[in-house]
Structure 1
Amino acid sequence: MPSKGKHRRPKSISLTRGIAAAGTGAAVLALPVLGATSAGAAPQAAPAAKSAPAPTTYVVAAGDSLAKIAREHSLSGGWKKLYEDNRATLGDNPGLIHPGVKLTLGKKSPAKPAEKPAATRASAERADRSEQRTTLAAAPAKKSYTNDLDGWIKESLDIMAKHSIPGTYEGIHRNIMRESSGNPLAINNWDSNAVAGTPSKGLLQVIDPTFTAYHVPGTSMNSYDPVANITAACNYAADRYGSIDNVNGAY
């Protein structure tokens, strides 16, 4: 039996040095320590980024709803995103879908355009401003008319020209002076039309039924309006007499 004695704990050899002692009789050899603690693990290649799945097409079946389709296909954004991706097909009512309609599932967002260099942006902005100035310069200025008999007749003539209604300044002016002396608020309360409840009104003394029947689109519906009154009267005269120029008396 071995004699009792104190047992020493053997010193542990630091693995950080990367060597261990091994006895071979009188000589001591330094051996490299092999193991996970002394050699670093080989670096692993980073996993390749997964590409987004390509959009797929789904044909709506009877009993389907956007919520059901989005749920069954685990679509990101739910039925709202599915609706936005297919709004051109579905229209404005997301609750109404018909069997047989083809929907795109997992539609990719449009790629963001590359940012243009500052110099390019500035050049494009200058070109846009130049084009806007050219467009404004080319656009004809809106024609203005004086608020008097001369201006009313000229404005009426321009409207008549657009609607192929014949008549001249002289013919209109001559009949106005005979009918109302140029007063746009003139009204005849004594003739047969007035007795019948439809007095003649305005510059060319038009009764309401005639004004309504021959009213020209784009003019006022008020028979006292000078331009509307002239234009409607000339339209009536053209239909009945060929032109307001042919009217030389009561018409």
Structure 2
Amino acid sequence: MPQSIFTRDRSRALTRHRKIAIAGVGTFGAAAVALSAIPAGAETATTEAAPAPKVSYSAEPIKDVKASVTDQIAGADEKVAAIEARKEAAAEAAAEKEAAAEKAAQERAAKEAAARSAERAPVKQVSAKSYADNLHGWITEALDIMEAKGIPGSYHGLHKNIIRESSGDPNAINNWDINAQNGIPSKGLLQVIPPTFQAYHVPGTSWDIYDPVANITAAANYAADRYGTIDNVNSAY
């Protein structure tokens, strides 16, 4: 006999209720299990789990970090190079300054030396004059000395008197005239007695009465004092 419609409806309703009941029992059981896992005396609290951070595995940041470190190293190298360059420039500048100071000191010293040299009167270098060891040379040297001492006389005046008195012999001596008789014979080219030679000796010449130049200059000095010049003497004097 077919079930009435009311019976089928009840069965459907019952079935739905059973499903709900079974779901409720399942839910209750899960809750019971969860509660049983909480230690005794512990407070129950509802907490919300924080979402896990996302980890990025992109390679781009690593490249950026590497580039940044490379740039820093390069920048440090540039700074070191710049410092070394400044040190070298400073050393070069100091060396140039020292060289300039030394050059300036040398130039000052040279100028001072030149100034001192200019202040000193120039000294004329006169080469030593040489004279022949003969009558001409003796007369020539005697004339130079006479000129320096302001003693008048000429080559002709000296020569003519020398020839008359001694014939040009510097060692001539007169042992027969009055002077010889008095013990002071005349000697030399111009036959000068020793007292006259000593009285009219010209400084710078020899004290030897037989020395040709010394004899000539002393005789010319005596003649200048007594006769004005040896040129005025034409006989024994």
Normalized against structure 2, the TM-score is what? 0.50
Q: Which has the higher helix share?
A: 2
Q: Which has the higher strand share?
A: 1
Larger radius of gyration: 2
Normalized against structure 1, the TM-score is what? 0.47
